[in-house]
Amino acid sequence: MIIVTGGAGFIGSNLVLGLNARGYDDILVVDHLTQGVKYRNLVNCKIADYLDRSTFLERLQQGAFKPESIEAIFHQGACSTTTEWDGRYMMDNNYEYSKILFHYCQSHKIPFIYASSAAVYGADLNFKESLQYEGPLNVYGYSKFQFDQYIRRHQANLTAQVVGLRYFNVYGPHEAHKGSMASVAYHLNNQIKDSDELRLFEGCDGYGNGEQLRDFIYVGDVVDINLWFLDHPQVSGIYNTGTGRSQTFNDVANAVIRFHQRGQIRYIPFPEHLKGCYQSFTEANLDNLRAAGCDHQFKSVEQGVQLYMEWLNT
């Protein structure tokens, strides 16, 4: 059995489908469906069982599972809302939950692959997996940063694989439930269908209109990286999961326009509430990932957005 926490979410449900594509369906999905619309992400997934997060944790801590039957835990469950400032909730949901799973996996020698985030880097422009370059700008980023720090403290005494994947700007199928936190590609597709107008922020931090740069990564590539580590249980560590190539928001908008063969960009004022806590540039340094032996070739914005537009509009 493989356990996928956050399995009804964006990346989690795509990961379940990735496992299904390998012929694997002995999967326990853990999530909470307070936001009931997320059930749609599971409709096409083949799974063995579903458990609510609280029920799962209770049973785990009571010893209800047979550890020898668990091949790996993919821990994707987290609050990923960067505008959430309830630190108590964020640390309980993202940090304490992760620690419980980590120690369970270590006690029973189970591979543990978890979602970290590029948000740990904050305003630093180096994007290397090293403490000197890390300084989150919001409490979401801090929750991920602190768990990475916790893992580092235990790195020398691991009994089984532990991998933290620092996701950059992920986009693709199954993200509609994220609402305002869904990718810019998702929102631009809706905008072009509504009005033929795509809205991007005006320039900031020295960048021109729509020229802010992000490392946009297609969710299919994220799944491939997770599964690469599943196939290489001897490899542990914290790794950036981006393409290694930043592209502009204008590139995303133009890819959407090319797919629909219509539309124009309008630039809107940069929001006051985002000033000082917005990453205008991200680009994954892939040196550690490549040194680990992963040579996966990532899709460009043009390639990934084309696939996503086909999925959204058919």
pLDDT tens sequence across 113-140: 999 999 999 888 999 999 999 999 888 8
> What is the predicted pLDDT for the residue at 277?
67
Nearest to 38 by CA among 158, 178, 133: 178
Within the chain, all domains assigned CATH 3.90.25.10 are found at: 176-213+246-281+303-312
Share of the chain above pLDDT 70, in %: 97
Q: Which residue has the higher pLDDT, 231 or 180?
A: 231
Within the chain, all domains assigned CATH 3.40.50.720 are found at: 2-171+216-242+285-295
For 247, list phi and psi in degrees, rounded to 5.
Answer: -140, 160
At the top level of CATH, the class of 176-213+246-281+303-312 is alpha beta
Instruction: Record the tokens describing residue 136, joined without a space.
Output: 């989150």
Q: What residues are labeled active site?
A: 140, 178
75 pLDDT above the threshold of 90: yes
> What is the predicted pLDDT for the residue at 82?
56
80 pLDDT above the threshold of 90: no
> What is the predicted pLDDT for the residue at 123?
84
H/E run at residue 231: helix 219-231
Q: Which CATH architecture has domain 2-171+216-242+285-295?
A: 3-Layer(aba) Sandwich (3.40)
**AA letter at 168:** F
Average pLDDT (94-100) is 93
Three-class DSSP category at 100:
helix
State the Cα–Cα distance between residues 80 and 128, nearest whole angstrom: 21
